[in-house]
Amino acid sequence: MKKIQTSLTRKDWIGISLFGLIAGLGFLASLFGFIADFLNVPTADNWIKTMEASIQDFLSVSLTLLQGGAIFLVTGVLFLVIILNHIAQREQVEREKKLRRAQRLQDAIES
């Protein structure tokens, strides 16, 4: 099996990890918000709604878990796409440089 070489820097891994974590937390919050809306228990016994209300009071925001989670999910995925696109573009430039060097070397050998 051919070993794949990557040139991901530490900044790339930090960015991927950070925005992956943000997207994952957004998905988890959206999932909890969705479950809380359809949980078949009285509102007083719904611990997810209680948690949502305490978060809203603490942060002074009117977003539900579903809405806030969707915002975090979309933001995380958007930044992940931007980071991965930048990495792919950088890899493509490096491959083109390597190909041009090989062609110049081949031309020099043939001459």
Given a cut of 70, whether residue 1 has pLDDT beyond it is: no
Look up the domain containing 87 and give its range.
Answer: 10-110
The total number of structural domains in the chain stands at: 1
Q: Does 61 fall in a domain?
A: yes
| Closest to 48 (Cα-Cα) out of 38, 62, 61 | 38
* Band of pLDDT at residue 43, cut at 50, 70 and 90: confident
Asked if residue 32 is part of any domain, the answer here is yes
Task: Evaluate whether residue 3 is within a structural domain.
Answer: no
Q: Is 2 inside a domain boundary?
A: no
Specify if 4 maps to a domain.
no
Tell me what pLDDT residue 8 has: 75
Rg (CA), the chain: 24
pTM: 0.77
Determine, yes or no, domain membership for 1: no
Does 4 score more than 80 pLDDT?
no
Whether residue 2 has pLDDT greater than 80: no
CB atoms within 10 A of CB 54: 10
Rounded distance, CA 40 to CA 55, Å? 22
In a domain, residue 5? The reply is no
Residue 38: inside a domain: yes
Mind listing the pLDDT tens digit for each residue in 6-31?
A: 667 888 888 889 999 999 999 999 99
Please give the structure tokens belonging to residue 56.
Answer: 């809203």
